Structure 1
Amino acid sequence: MSIHVQKSFGGQHEVGTLYLVGTPIGNLEDMTFRAVRTLKEADLIAAEDTRQTRKLLTHYDIQTRLVSYHEHNKQASGPELIRLLQEGKSIALVSDAGLPAISDPGADLVALAAAEAIPVVPVPGANAALSALIVSGLSTERFAFVGFPPRDKKPLGEWLDHCGKLEETIILYESPHRLGRTLSAMLEAWGDRRIAMVRELTKRHEEVARGMISECLARLEEHPPLGEYCLVVEGRKPGSGEGAEDAWWAQLDLEAHVSYYEATYGRKEAIKKVANDRGVPKRDVYNAVNR
């Protein structure tokens, strides 16, 4: 595979350009002059939700033709958009809100364009994950964006195992009807950590709830979740074992700890998870519970 170097500006391109245009995450004023100009000058705007995007285009009097590109039609729509780009058309890609290609099918279109040496140019704008991070009060030195947690129990358990080992600040999205379950699973797997629950960013009811996971769970009992949430969670403290002193399993002996996981994962996998929790070799756990 030979390297391809894109020069976004200057020179003549034989093909069109794919622009990734950031759009507001709530407040329509969070639209850059460059984003408006790009949407007006593009030959085509590809949108995840055309109804939502049309509101934005109407607000800024943008008349550019609008087409649909989303998770359910990307297999057919993607190659067609690439064909238009190869013919020299310029296309502006937008998501429902924020930056396209982050936890949405825009990433697939970018990959197709890059594979065909079609220029892909970012037009930066608002982003929910980074906006939540900078108001969280948690460390911004190193962070990991992990998208939406899995819905099913086993994949969620594996996700918690992986993310629980991260020392950087963790940023994720969650829907209101799964928020309580996710926070409870975090508390059980990671112990109590500092967290910021952020919702309605840039909107009239913008809210940032900062505290421990347990405190945020208690708040949800009195204030049921409304709207999509961005969660910013403290990473594992450097040098600590996988379980902190206040972890959910701290008062369990090894046999009880293994039994907890065994009901769901089987004994072999349970021993592995206990070893990960406690930061000890699997062999030590195995020998201790099989005497």
Structure 2
Amino acid sequence: MHDSTSAKTGTLYIVATPIGNLEDITLRAIRILKEADYIAAEDTRHTKKLLNHLGIDTNLISYYREQEQQRAEQIVRFLEEGQDVAIVTDAGTPAISDPGTVVVRKARERGLKIVPIPGPSALTAALSCAGIEEKAIMFHGFAPAKKTQRKKLLQTLLHADYYAVFYESPHRIEGFLQDAIAALGDRQIFMARELTKNFEELQQTSLSELIVITSSRKSRGEHVLILAPADAVPSKEMDIDDLILWYRDHSSLSLKDSCKTLAADLGVSRSKLYKRALQLWSDDEGTGNL
């Protein structure tokens, strides 16, 4: 791919690959993987299956977390010699809770060219279908494996006013949920599991309900968990006036749609809710959009 007459150094391509469904790869990613001098893969056996599927026979080298420092130096040498290298992980976008950060940093320090080839990411896939309100989002990656460290991190979210996003493995999901409800109370959570795969599952629920669900079955596949801030969802213990005001202040729904939702959730008369909402919902905060 590299033309030694036009440049002295190669390019490091950060290539996103499918997180499940092999059709989720861009035409540009396929071209770069074909034209690169080397593909640096988190697991060469795993990546070989994708390359075989695409009919690509580019040279493969391993780039996995335990040897990230040494492999990064090797890749930088290739780049300085004029070779183009495409780095991939087993699934999704490199350097997003996956290997890739070290080589990117080293290449940047040496002034080498880095080009992102965007594509699949479990993070953006989950956020795109969570339907969360416009609010700040903090991505934490995988929570600490040690319980004490995990609990300490979760406690920092008690009064946070943003959505906290985590990745979690199937064998640690129950521990994470238990620690989350202990630290934060029973707040809302969106769970995306096995994204783009046969057993894809998306659930908007509460921490307590998700604990019941996960404890009653064997979880498979990695999870993306989006924890709502404390004020993002009304508590069932709130009285009706508080609930109406919560929807006025925190929801994008109109007064009419808010009353429809509340009536269905609480099993009460929609007309009575509507009359009370008219009294509480001031003209400048929504009655003009009935």
So what's the TM-score if we normalise by structure 2?
Answer: 0.75
Q: Give the aligned partner of residue 17 of structure 2.
A: 23
Match of residue 87 from structure 2: 93
Q: Note if 1:58 corresponds to 2:48.
A: no
* Contact kept? 2:157, 2:184, Cα under 8 Å: no
Pairing partner for 2:107 from 89, 107, 113 = 113
Give the Cα separation in 2 of the matches to 1:237 and 1:24: 35
| Identity fraction in percent | 42
The 2-side partners of 1:94 and 1:213 are apart by 34
Task: Output aligned runs, 1:252-291, within 5 Å.
Answer: none
Aligned-partner residue type, residue 116 of structure 1: R
Q: Is structure 2 residue 128 aligned with structure 1 residue 129?
A: no
User: Which whole-Å CA distance do the structure 2 matches of 1:72 and 1:209 have between them?
Assistant: 34
State the shift of 1:245 in Å. Answer: 11
Q: Deviations over 1:164-205 (max 9, x none)?
A: 343221111111111111101111101111111211100111
> Residue 138 of structure 1: which of 132, 150, 154 is its match?
132
Letter in structure 2 aligned against 1:31: I
Give the SS at the match of 2:172. helix
C-alpha RMSD over aligned residues: 1.8
Residues in 2 aligned to 1:146 and 1:48: alpha-carbon distance in whole angstroms: 21
1:147 paired with 2:149, answer: no
Structure 1 residues 117 and 236: alpha-carbon distance in aligned structure 2, compared to 1, 3 A threshold:
farther
Match of 1:219 among 209, 213, 218: 213
Unpaired runs of at least 5, structure 1? 1-11, 239-243, 247-291
Q: What is the deviation of 1:162? A: 2.4
Q: Any conservation in 1 of the 2:12–2:79 contact (CA below 8 Å)?
A: yes
1:174 aligns with 2:205: no
Q: How does 1:211-250 map to 2 (within 5 A)?
A: 211-237=205-231
Does structure 2 conserve the Cα–Cα contact (< 8 Å) formed by 1:85 and 1:91?
A: yes
CA gap 1:140/1:95 in 2 versus in 1, 3 angstroms: farther
**For residue 190 of structure 1, what is the aligned residue in structure 2?**
184
Distance, in Å, in 2 between the alignment partners of 1:224 and 1:72 is 29
Which whole-Å CA distance do the structure 2 matches of 1:157 and 1:210 have between them?
A: 23
Q: 2:8 & 2:152 partners in 1: Cα distance?
A: 46
Q: Report how far residue 140 of structure 1 moved.
A: 5.0
- The normalised TM-score by structure 1 is 0.75
- State the secondary structure of the residue aligned to 2:181: helix
C-alpha distance 221-77 of structure 1, shift in aligned 2 (>3 A): closer
After TM superposition, give the deviation of residue 138 of structure 1 in Å: 2.3
Give the superposition deviation at 1:232: 1.2
Residue equivalent to 2:240: none
Secondary structure at the counterpart of residue 65 of structure 2: coil
CA contact (8 A) 1:134 1:140 kept: no
Larger mean CA deviation between 65-74 and 154-163 belongs to 154-163
Question: In the alignment, what sits opposite 1:41?
Answer: 35
1:220 counterpart SS class: helix
The aligned residue for residue 162 of structure 1 is: 156
Question: Alignment partner of 2:231: what SS?
Answer: coil
Stretches of structure 2 that go unaligned for 5 or more consecutive residues are 1-5, 238-290
Which residue does 1:283 correspond to in 2?
A: none
Residue 13 of structure 1 and its aligned partner are, at CA, apart by 4.0
Is the 1:139–1:169 contact (alpha carbons within 8 Å) kept by the matching residues of 2? no
Q: Secondary structure at the match of 2:177?
A: helix
1:231 Cα offset (Å): 0.8
